[in-house]
Structure 1
Amino acid sequence: MTKRTASCSCGQLSIEVQGESLGVGVCHCLACQRRTGSVFAALACFAAPFRVIGNATEYVRVGDQGTKYTFRFCPVCGTNLFHTEEGCELSYVNVAVGAFADPSFPAPQDSVYECRKHSWVQLPPGTQGYEKDPT
């Protein structure tokens, strides 16, 4: 079974996941743009079990549809490494794709909040786009 490790910039916080991702997506919402400091967030979803190594700071944000998301950051370097959804914490985790530091990581299949996408962003052919979050 494939095992992957994603780490923060300083290496204090990491997460180990197993198996292939359940999906890779990008989010263009303004909250993700602010959270990442980039024009979108790139996330990969993995089924449990996963293992967190190190200490994390948590920030809870309520999404447009009322769902609570808990984001985990490294308290040393500030890297936003992963997040979970309220009620699903034991089922799956969403990990920042860039934290795997793997240029061969699979491309996104989905793109949400395209109503907020920067006009110059070009995604791979075949990426399914949604104006907002389809859930």
Structure 2
Amino acid sequence: MSERNGRCLCGAVHYRISADPVAVRLCWCRDCQRLAANGTVNALVPTAALDISGTVADFTSTADSGNQITRRFCPSCGSHLFANSSARPQLTVVRVGTLDDPSSVKPAVNMWAASAPAWACLDTSLEQVERQPVAPPAKPAG
């Protein structure tokens, strides 16, 4: 296990992750495209392993998957940092671009590939899933 740290653009919100990601994915759903004007790289980490300092604002909406997604961001600079799905409250999505070392993780799958724009550069070495992939298995405690 390695510790990872990150922050928002203005530095008002910092975070520490004390567990390795359960999965790292490149998402091409329309919501992620609207957030980033592109696909987003997301690390799924155990919610209990995420320590946040600073105040975050949130916005909840229904995703294409049908799940309620609460996205959390810095209210000062607007950096999108985290998301939680009603389907998997034990996991938190961390936007990899906000990590101090985004190269410390690598995506394994292009998800919602069916929604990617025609110009998208999908890494052909990654698994490609047309829509929502199967949830990662829960890691045993201890």
Shorter-chain TM-score: what band?
Answer: 0.7 to 0.9
d(CA) in 1 for partners of 2:110, 2:123: 10
Shift of 1:116: 1.8
TM-superposed CA distance for 1:29, in Å, is: 1.2
Distance 1:120 1:102 in 2: 27
Once superposed, what is the RMSD of the aligned Cα atoms? 1.7
Q: TM-score, normalised by structure 2?
A: 0.84
Cα contact 1:71–1:82 (8 A) shared by 2: yes
CA distance in 1 between partners of 2:65 and 2:116 (Å): 19
| Displaced runs of 4 or more, over 6 A | none
Q: Please name the residue that 1:121 is paired with.
A: 120
Unaligned runs of 5+ in 1: none
Aligned residues: 133
Task: Give, as a single letter, the amino acid of the residue that structure 1 aligns with 2:69.
Answer: Y
Tell me how far apart the structure 2 counterparts of residues 25 and 13 of structure 1 sit (CA, whole Å). Answer: 23
- Deviation, 1:100, is 0.6
Q: Distance in 1 between matches of 2:12 and 2:76?
A: 7
Q: Is the 8 A contact 1:6 1:81 kept in 2?
A: no
> Which ranges of structure 2 fall in alignment gaps of 5 or more residues?
135-142
Structure 2: distance between partners of 1:64 and 1:119: 19
Output the CA distance in 1 between the equivalents of 2:40 and 2:60: 17
CA shift for structure 1 position 92: 1.8
Identical pairs, percent: 27
Tell me by how many angstroms 1:128 deviates: 0.9
Which residue of the partner structure matches residue 42 of structure 1? 41
Alignment of 1:10 onto 2:5: no
Secondary structure of 2:103's aligned partner: coil
Contact 1:107 1:124 in 2 (8 A): no
Deviation at 1:84, TM superposition (A): 1.1
Q: CA deviation at 1:55?
A: 0.5
Q: Deviations over 1:24-83 (max 9, x none)?
A: 1011111111122x2111101111221111001100011123211110010000000011
User: Using the alignment, how far apart are the partners of 2:78 and 2:96 within structure 1?
Assistant: 16
Indicate the residue corresponding to 2:132 in structure 1: 133
TM-score with structure 1 setting the length: 0.88
